[in-house]
């Protein structure tokens, strides 16, 4: 077992690491608004990377939705960044926690284990179609939520589950109230934004698409994603997860995502403690070292688990 200190979040670090990309996003959005031609490219890239990094805190909130020290941060994120990207964390909670569940992870019941390896059509769909569609889907969910249409979403979710995937979370009565409230706020803020700056809608949409592209681009870097297993156990969380140490992965794997093996072994550990946990596991667990691969190996699709090929890569990385 690892030291319990690893599980304690530090809200000051969370706020620091959120407020910096938030500020960069707003500054670069305004910069891009007032740029012409190729001059818009630099602020657009910075804004896209910034909103992606800020948006990825949804993952942290899902893993600590009711932690006493995280309440202020969670509330702040949902009513700021969550409104900008139109993603209340409650919609994301159940599918992601199901993905982490022992016995479900990497089986056909795992809603976030997409078989993109060796399937060019599925890979193209995830990388190039999903980012284009998700901003529109998010808006429709906000619209239906604001109008009290949670029931429609639940019908869609049940039909999706019958076909083996998940599109949203089935909510409790209390959660529905929270999502409706956040959806109404988000819709009101969006209407005000459109009324004041209608000419920037294409810029906003393009940034949301870029943010979603960066989000889905990291999917093949974290698991094998080649076949479903008939069953799984806690050990499989390590065997079928990748860790990419190179800083080159930081762009699409911010907030500790590149230490994905440690995250799946101990999902309750906050992102800012994952580097230290990774170092401890690397030093003490030979099997864990087998999950450490290069960025190129992750892109190519290295086999998951502690096999000789991974052991060589781990030695090279060390």
- Give the pLDDT confidence score for residue 267 in this predicted structure: 95
For tokens 């599918």, what's the residue?
Answer: 95
Q: Of 56, 3, 70, 2, which is closest to residue 25 (Cα–Cα)?
A: 56
* Low-confidence winner among 3-12, 150-159, 168-177, 286-295 (lowest mean pLDDT): 150-159
Q: How far apart are the first and last CA of the chain?
A: 23
* CB crowding 255-281: b at 16 or more within 10 Å, else e: bbbbbbbbbbbbbebbbbbbeebbeeb
Name, of 154-168, 198-212, 213-227, 303-317, the range with top average pLDDT: 198-212
Confidence of residue 175 (pLDDT cuts 50, 70, 90): confident
Is residue 167 scored above 80 in pLDDT? no
Residue range 46-65: mean pLDDT, rounded: 96
Residue range 57-77: mean pLDDT, rounded: 94
Confirm if 54 and 81 have CB atoms less than 8 A apart.
yes
- Give the pLDDT confidence score for residue 304 in this predicted structure: 43
* Low-confidence winner among 36-40, 150-154, 218-222 (lowest mean pLDDT): 150-154
Is residue 171 scored above 90 in pLDDT? no
Name, of 4-18, 224-238, 298-312, the range with top average pLDDT: 4-18
pLDDT tens digit sequence for 268-311 = 999 999 999 999 999 999 999 999 998 888 877 655 444 333 43
Number of compact structural domains in the chain: 1
Confirm if 73 and 14 have CB atoms less than 8 A apart.
yes
- Give the pLDDT confidence score for residue 166 in this predicted structure: 59
Q: Tell me, yes or no, if the pTM score tops 0.75.
A: yes
Percent of the chain with pLDDT over 70: 89
Is residue 163 scored above 80 in pLDDT? no
Q: Which two tokens stand for residue 228?
A: 């479903």
pLDDT tens digit sequence for 134-146 = 999 999 989 988 9
Q: Which domain holds residue 307?
A: 4-317
Q: What is the mean pLDDT of the chain?
A: 88
Q: What are phi and psi of 90, to 5 degrees?
A: -60, -25
List beta partners, residue 259.
243
Is residue 316 scored above 70 in pLDDT? no
Confidence of residue 186 (pLDDT cuts 50, 70, 90): very high
Q: How far apart are CA 26 and CA 203, in angstroms?
A: 12
Q: What are phi and psi of 106, to 5 degrees?
A: 65, 10
Residue range 250-264: mean pLDDT, rounded: 93
Which residue spans within 201-318 are E strands per DSSP?
A: 243-244, 292-293
């Amino acid at each position: 077992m690892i030291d319990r200190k690893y599980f304690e979040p530090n809200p000051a670090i969370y706020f620091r690491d959120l407020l910096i990309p938030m500020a960069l996003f707003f500054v670069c959005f305004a910069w891009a608004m007032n740029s012409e031609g190729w001059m818009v490219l630099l602020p657009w890239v910075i804004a896209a990377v910034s909103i992606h990094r800020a948006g990825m805190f949804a993952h942290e909130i899902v893993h600590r939705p009711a932690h006493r020290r995280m309440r202020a941060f969670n509330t702040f994120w949902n009513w700021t960044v969550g409104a900008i990207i139109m993603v209340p964390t409650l919609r994301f909670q159940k599918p992601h926690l199901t993905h982490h569940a022992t016995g479900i992870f990497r089986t056909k019941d795992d809603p976030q284990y997409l078989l993109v390896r060796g399937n060019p059509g599925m890979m193209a769909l995830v990388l190039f179609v999903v980012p284009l569609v998700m901003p529109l889907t998010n808006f429709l969910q906000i619209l239906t939520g604001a109008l009290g249409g949670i029931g429609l979403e639940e019908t869609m979710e049940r039909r999706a589950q019958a076909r083996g995937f998940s599109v949203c979370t089935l909510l409790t009565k209390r959660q529905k109230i929270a999502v409706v409230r956040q959806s109404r706020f988000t819709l009101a803020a969006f209407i005000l934004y459109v009324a004041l700056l209608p000419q920037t809608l294409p810029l906003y949409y393009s940034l949301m698409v870029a943010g979603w592209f960066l989000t889905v681009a990291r999917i093949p870097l974290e698991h094998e994603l080649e076949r479903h297993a008939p069953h799984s156990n806690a050990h499989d969380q390590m065997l079928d997860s990748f860790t990419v140490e190179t800083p080159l992965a930081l762009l699409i794997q911010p907030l500790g995502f590149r230490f994905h093996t440690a995250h799946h072994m101990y999902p309750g550990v906050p992102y800012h403690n994952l580097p230290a946990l990774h170092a401890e596991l690397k030093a003490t667990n030979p099997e864990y070292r087998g999950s450490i691969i290069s960025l190129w190996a992750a892109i190519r699709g290295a086999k998951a688990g502690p096999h000789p090929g991974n052991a060589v890569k781990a030695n090279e990385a060390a």
